[in-house]
């Protein structure tokens, strides 16, 4: 994700980059926590009392369409957002919902072929590892 590119794209589309929208973009820059829309809203609502959750959702949708943010379907009920759009995989903690980045994993050829044999045109392959993070494991041990 690149703020300069985002500002330029907004300008090209003739969409005003309001202080609220810019705050959302800035809060995502370099964020490795894979936040949900609600996480972002909670972070910013004190500083921007007029911010609505709808604005957060709309801005994330826009950033996704620009290809500047990836939407991750790791959580069963909410989308998580990743400003790192380079190919990589994720490990997800099933207790605290923490998400960490993993290096990109090549999907096994056999899986791709099976999907293609079923007539699927493969659009995207996601590798997700589910587990219990170190911190959650330690809490349980004490």
* Site for Zn ion, rule CB under 5 A: 82, 93, 95-96, 98, 101, 133, 136
Nearer to Zn ion, 51 or 69 (CB): 69
Considering the complex, what minimum distance in angstroms separates the CB of residue 25 from Zn ion? 17
Q: Is residue 45 exposed (0-12), middle (13-18) or buried (19+ Cβ within 10 Å)?
A: middle
Contact between 77 and 97 (Cβ < 8 Å): no
How far is residue 73's CA from residue 66's CA, in Å, rounded to a whole number? 18
Nearer to Zn ion, 47 or 71 (CB): 71
Considering the complex, what minimum distance in angstroms separates the CB of residue 103 from Zn ion? 11
The single-letter DSSP state of residue 7 is: H
Task: Report the run of H or E that residue 71 belongs to, with start and end.
Answer: strand 70-72
Considering the complex, what minimum distance in angstroms separates the CB of residue 87 from Zn ion? 10
Task: Specify which residues 36 forms β-bridges with.
Answer: 80
Considering the complex, what minimum distance in angstroms separates the CB of residue 139 from Zn ion? 8
Considering the complex, what minimum distance in angstroms separates the CB of residue 37 from Zn ion? 16
Nearer to Zn ion, 115 or 128 (CB): 128
Nearer to Zn ion, 28 or 44 (CB): 28
Nearer to Zn ion, 38 or 96 (CB): 96
| CA nearest neighbour of 21 among 46, 50, 45, 55 | 55
């Amino acid at each position: 994700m690149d703020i300069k590119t985002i500002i330029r794209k907004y300008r090209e589309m003739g969409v005003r980059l309001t202080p609220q929208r810019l705050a959302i973009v800035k809060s995502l820059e370099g964020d490795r926590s894979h936040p949900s829309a609600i996480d972002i809203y909670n972070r910013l609502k004190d500083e921007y009392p007029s911010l609505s959750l709808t604005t957060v959702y709309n801005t994330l949708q826009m950033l996704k369409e620009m290809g500047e943010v990836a939407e991750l379907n790791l959580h069963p009920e909410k989308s998580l957002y990743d400003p790192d759009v380079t190919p990589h995989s994720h490990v997800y903690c099933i207790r605290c919902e923490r998400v960490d980045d993993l290096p990109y994993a090549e999907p096994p050829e056999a899986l791709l072929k099976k999907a293609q044999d079923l007539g699927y045109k493969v659009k995207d392959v996601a590798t997700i590892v589910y587990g219990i993070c170190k911190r959650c494991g330690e809490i349980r041990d004490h």
